Amino acid sequence: MKLWGGRFRNEENGLMEAFNKSFGFDSVLYKKDIEGSLAHVHMQLKVGLLNEEEGKLISEGLKSIEKDIEDGTLCLDGNYEDIHSFVEINLIQRIGEVGKKLHTGRSRNDQIAVDMRLFAKEKAYEIIDYIQNLKSTLKEVGEKNPVIMPGYTHLQRAQVVTLKHHLMAYYNMFDRDSKRIKNAIEILDESPLGCGALAGTTHNIDRSITCDKLGFKKPMDNFMDGVSDRDYLLELMSDFSIIMMHLSRLSEELILWSSQEFKFIEIDDLYSTGSSIMPQKKNPDGAELIRGKTGRVYGNLMSLLTVMKGLPLAYNKDMQEDKEGFFDSVNTLSMCIQIMERMIATLKVRDDNMKKAVRDGFLNATEVADYLVNKNVPFRDAHGIVGQIVIYCEDNNKAIEDLSLEELSQFSNTFEEDVYDFIEYENILNKGIKINLK
């Protein structure tokens, strides 16, 4: 049984039937489809499209389908075109002809539109929760590890920072990500139910009833836009891509830091793998997979942008391609955030190697220049003087802070004993914006 076909003389071609089906992937929407249908029945009762007995029978039938799916009595399989067909056909089989009245006053176009908005909103809130857990862990691990380490530009040691400051940079990134998703939820929080196929319905429905029942802030203003809008999915998938970019950047740092060349951290065995041939290997596969899956989430966004770019109003079957990519992005992102949170929570920090990297990297060179500037040396001159000091240190295998006042005076007679306090790393961290580690 199909939900359409009355005007067709011939059966659908078998290959076309398989090509047209979406049940294999949109069955994940069963809860939202039933939720939307229950709201629609509630409205039908209020406006007189159903009597009390019919409304009760349909509602109980829908609830029984959901219960049976949840407990495994009813499996989400079979020769159905989509999740809407599955629910409606099973409803009619359970309660009889009255089940055919469920669809009065709506179209599959506004039905799937409301299903996807409900699903997207729910998953967006879940992502926000996962991000909050990751932010809390980043902050907690940072608080426990305020050890000094090199900060980098161009992947070259630049200035001294702390691990806490470094992790809190990602905290701020993920905080912005949460704000972006909340903004997307605010924009998508409108109900398309009642828009019909594209021009509403002649039935005396009340869209405000279903809107309130489903928890949307308002009905959508334009029926054509209501059934054809996929901007909210594009916006969320764009937000997801930005989050994955942030996760990938953090993954790259964990990969570098856990290498034998850095030895700043050790990733827990729970989130690492080994080699089938090299027994000494411990590979940061959790971080590498996150880095790799970033391209997958980007691809899903580009796929839907490409689908939507040439579509006239209103609904077109091309829009069925919105689901698989969005579902995949949600699932991929959810797992990546959770894996990253666990990797960060179980990191072993090698503070000795971080401190050694600071000492070996001349990371107080900028402060030496600042010291000279404070003594009225022009900055350009100070910059050149410190460059020569660094060359001297490299040639003599010394750190700047190890140079005697006599050695420093070879480059400028401005240096005095107070230079050592000025360029001591802990003192550097207590100056200026570097104390802003919140």
**CB-CB contact of 162 with 147 (8 Å):** yes
Interstrand relation of 218-219 and 190-191 (parallel, antiparallel or unpaired): parallel
The Cα 175–Cα 154 span in angstroms is 25
Q: Which of 154, 166, 203, 259 is catalytic?
A: 154
Alpha-carbon distances, residue 9 vs 5, 12, 13, 89 (angstroms): 8, 10, 12, 22
Taking Cα atoms as reference points, which of 368, 362, 423, 425 lies closest to residue 394? 362
The burial of 15, by beta-carbon neighbours within 10 Å (0-12 exposed, 13-18 middle, 19 or more buried), is given as exposed
Q: Token pair for residue 392?
A: 């001297």
Q: What is the DSSP letter of 216?
A: -
Active site residue 40: no
Tell me, yes or no, if 165 is annotated catalytic: no
Of the residues 275, 276, 303, 404, only one is catalytic, namely 275
Rounded Cα distance between 237 and 155, Å, is 30
CB 233 within 8 A of CB 116: yes
Which residues, at least 6 apart from 139, have a Cβ–Cβ distance to it below 8 Å? 167, 168, 171
Q: Which residues are catalytic?
A: 154, 275
